[in-house]
């Protein structure tokens, strides 16, 4: 399955087929164009539901995330790959420095990180893929809301997107939806949550403890 | 975007599915408490209409009719079995006014009087500009509580409690009989009787002003509040201007 088909299937059906890791059929101009089209279309759909003005879309970062995520899915299925190969493949850094634009673009695919972590943990609690996925969770906190154990393995830093109102709204939306109170240790998140809850009595009663304490 | 799909809405809100009646090849099955819908293809336009349908839950329909909620990876059940029929056949078409402003000045033998009772607002009559500006940046958890309907000229009704924090005329929404806050109808009839007097069905909203004038808003004129629905409405209104 090409990367373009992988993404289309992931976004529309939630089911993907993957070959062995690091066997990428892309390369021709047509294939690259297909990937670009799918990513841009996916971003256009995401932008429709984005709160306020979305950051600029980085095709480079989105492509890196899509490639990386597909590789991770391949390691999930093809268990005979060695740990060294897994680490070498999944530790390729994002080619761009983190920023609102990069966080937004990576999230197009990495928003499925919680599912990947859950499936890796189902294989084994200490699965090497799960370890690498958890590292991604720390590096991309916007995309990993709801994953347990992220903060137990290291700190997260939301500075890359904390200054963008729309991305902070997405972040708090996910915290509320997934009831991930572990993310409420940052005063910027508490403040954003306070703005979200507003005067809504139901929301206020549900989150009052965290708002008044300012911590979990 | 072409996968087989399914969706369900509470039967109590089935009228909201009426907006889809002209979409070909949608089939429905009523299994209390849900109205199930299914289709073989999903394009962007239909996806947007589904997203905008109040109370809807959307699914990707997999092999063996397994239901996987949109944005989830794990099936949660299977499509119910039964006699599916075309949506257009299942719906009974009435002849209601088609727009929010369609039945102004219909007088009823009810008066709107000042009320000392304190009741929470559950509906806001506002402007499209104010609602659009707020809604497209609003948190999802707040949007989830609201539906909205827009009339020609931009008059906008946002239904849900508490109403959005924007300028407008707040109304108390008593089972679809909406009167401005601080007002009530007299004589103090129950809402079912008021509905009968007004000649409106159980799913429509009767929106009163302080003069006692009211207008009917059909359930199929409300759409679920979402940023994409707001943007699509804005785009449609811009094209109409």
Kindly state whether residue A186 falls inside one of the protein's structural domains.
no
Judged by CB atoms closer than 8 Å, whether chains meet at A115 and B73 is answered as yes
- My answer on whether B121 and B230 are in the same domain is yes
Cβ B87 vs Cβ B17: under 8 Å: yes
Kindly state whether residue A183 falls inside one of the protein's structural domains.
no
- My answer on whether B73 and B124 are in the same domain is no
Residues of B whose CB is below 8 A from A76: none
Would you place residue B90 in the very low, low, confident or very high pLDDT band (cuts 50, 70, 90)? confident
Kindly state whether residue A48 falls inside one of the protein's structural domains.
yes
Q: How far apart are CA A3 and CA B144, in angstroms?
A: 34
Kindly state whether residue B106 falls inside one of the protein's structural domains.
no
Which pLDDT value is given to residue B229? 93
- My answer on whether B78 and B126 are in the same domain is no
Kindly state whether residue B142 falls inside one of the protein's structural domains.
yes
Residue A195, preceding peptide bond in cis (omega within 30° of 0): no
Give the range of the structural domain holding residue A38, as residue numbers without chain letter: 3-157
- The answer to whether B228 faces chain A, any CB pair under 8 Å, is yes
Per-residue pLDDT of chain A (216 residues; tens, 9 = 90+): 789 998 988 887 777 777 777 666 556 778 889 999 999 999 999 999 999 999 999 999 999 999 999 999 999 888 877 888 888 889 999 988 889 999 999 999 999 999 999 999 988 888 889 999 999 999 999 999 999 999 888 889 999 999 999 999 999 999 999 999 999 999 999 999 999 988 788 888 888 888 876 544
**What's the average model confidence in pLDDT over B131-156?**
94
Kindly state whether residue B97 falls inside one of the protein's structural domains.
no
Kindly state whether residue A169 falls inside one of the protein's structural domains.
no
- My answer on whether B56 and B173 are in the same domain is no
Distance from CA of B192 to the nearest CA of A (A): 28
Q: How far apart are CA A22 and CA A79, in angstroms?
A: 14
Q: What is the ipTM of this complex?
A: 0.85
Chain A (104-163) residues lying within 8 Å, Cβ to Cβ, of chain B:
112, 115, 119
- My answer on whether B77 and B122 are in the same domain is no
Q: Domain tally for chain A?
A: 1
Which pLDDT value is given to residue A96? 85
Instruction: Identify the residue among A10, A16, A17, A51 best suited for mutation to test binding to B, counting B beta carbons within 10 A and taking the highest.
Output: A51
Kindly state whether residue B51 falls inside one of the protein's structural domains.
yes
Q: How far apart are CA A39 and CA A31, in angstroms?
A: 12
Give the range of the structural domain holding residue B33, as residue numbers without chain letter: 5-90
Kindly state whether residue A177 falls inside one of the protein's structural domains.
no
- My answer on whether B122 and B201 are in the same domain is yes
- My answer on whether B230 and B148 are in the same domain is yes
Q: What is the mean pLDDT of chain B?
A: 86
Q: How far apart are CA B172 and CA B210, in angstroms?
A: 12
B55 pLDDT above the threshold of 90? no
Kindly state whether residue A143 falls inside one of the protein's structural domains.
yes
Kindly state whether residue A103 falls inside one of the protein's structural domains.
yes
Q: Encode pLDDT of A10-49 as tens digits.
A: 887 777 777 777 666 556 778 889 999 999 999 999 999 9
Which of B90, B119, B141 is where one domain is finished?
B90
Judged by CB atoms closer than 8 Å, whether chains meet at B138 and A49 is answered as no
Exposed / middle / buried, residue B100 (Cβ in 10 Å: 0-12, 13-18, 19+): buried
Nearest to A184 by CA among A167, A209, A165, A204: A209
Dihedral sign, Cα of residue B40, residue B42, residue B47, residue B49: negative
Cβ A94 vs Cβ A65: under 8 Å: yes
CA angle A147, A148, A152 (to 5 degrees): 120
Kindly state whether residue A206 falls inside one of the protein's structural domains.
no
Which of B90, B124, B145 is where one domain is finished?
B90
* B149 backbone dihedrals φ, ψ, rounded to 5°: -135, 140
Q: How far apart are CA B208 and CA B210, in angstroms?
A: 7
Which pLDDT value is given to residue A160? 96
Q: Domain tally for chain B?
A: 2
| Chain A residue nearest residue B62, CA to CA | A13
Instruction: Identify the residue among B44, B124, B139 best suited for mutation to test binding to A, counting A beta carbons within 10 A and taking the highest.
Output: B139
Kindly state whether residue B98 falls inside one of the protein's structural domains.
no
- My answer on whether B64 and B130 are in the same domain is no
The 8 Å CB, 24+ separation contacts for A53-57 are: A53/A166, A54/A104, A54/A166, A55/A99, A55/A100, A55/A101, A55/A103, A55/A104, A55/A105, A55/A164, A55/A166, A55/A167, A56/A101, A57/A101, A57/A104, A57/A105
Kindly state whether residue B105 falls inside one of the protein's structural domains.
no
């Amino acid at each position: 399955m090409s990367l373009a088909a992988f993404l289309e299937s992931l976004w529309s059906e939630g089911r993907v087929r993957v070959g062995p890791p690091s066997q990428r059929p892309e390369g021709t101009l047509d294939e690259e164009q297909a990937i670009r089209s799918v990513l841009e279309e996916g971003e256009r759909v995401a932008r429709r539901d984005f709160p306020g003005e979305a950051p600029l879309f980085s095709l480079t970062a989105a492509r890196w995330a899509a490639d990386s995520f597909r590789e991770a899915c391949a390691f999930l299925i093809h268990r005979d790959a060695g740990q060294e190969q897994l680490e070498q493949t999944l530790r390729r850094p994002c080619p761009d420095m983190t920023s609102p634009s990069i966080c937004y673009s990576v999230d197009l695919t990495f928003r499925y990180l919680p599912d990947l972590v859950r499936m890796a943990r189902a294989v084994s609690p200490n699965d090497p893929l799960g370890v690498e996925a958890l590292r991604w969770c720390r590096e991309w906190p916007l995309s990993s809301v709801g994953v347990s154990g992220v903060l137990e393995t290291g700190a997260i830093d939301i500075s890359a997107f904390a200054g963008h109102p729309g991305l902070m709204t997405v972040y708090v939306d996910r915290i509320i939806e997934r009831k991930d109170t572990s993310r409420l240790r940052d005063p910027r998140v508490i403040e954003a949550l306070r703005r979200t809850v507003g005067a809504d009595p139901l929301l206020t009663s549900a989150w009052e403890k965290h708002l008044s304490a300012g911590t979990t | 975007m072409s996968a087989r799909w399914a969706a369900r809405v509470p039967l109590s809100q089935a009228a909201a599915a009426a907006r889809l009646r002209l979409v070909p090849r949608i089939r429905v099955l009523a299994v209390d408490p849900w109205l199930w819908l299914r289709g073989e293809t999903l394009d962007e336009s239909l996806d947007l209409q589904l997203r905008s349908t109040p109370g809807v839950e959307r699914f990707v329909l997999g092999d063996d009719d397994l239901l996987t909620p949109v944005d989830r990876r794990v099936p949660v059940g299977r499509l119910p079995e039964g006699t599916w029929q075309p949506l257009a056949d299942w719906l009974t078409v009435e002849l209601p006014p088609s727009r929010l402003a369609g039945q102004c000045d219909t007088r009823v033998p009810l008066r709107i009087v000042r009320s000392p009772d304190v009741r929470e607002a559950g509906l806001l009559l506002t402007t499209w500009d104010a609602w659009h500006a707020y809604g497209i940046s609003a948190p999802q958890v707040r949007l989830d509580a609201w539906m909205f309907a827009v009339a020609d000229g931009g008059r906008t009704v946002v239904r849900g409690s508490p109403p959005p924090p924007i300028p407008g005329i707040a109304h108390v929404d008593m089972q679809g009989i909406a009167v401005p806050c601080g007002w009530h109808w007299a004589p103090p009839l129950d809402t079912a009787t008021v509905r009968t007097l007004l000649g409106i069905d159980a799913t429509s909203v009767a929106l009163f002003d302080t003069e006692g004038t009211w207008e009917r808003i059909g359930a199929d004129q409300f759409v679920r509040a979402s940023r994409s629905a707001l943007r699509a409405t804005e785009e449609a209104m811009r094209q109409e201007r």
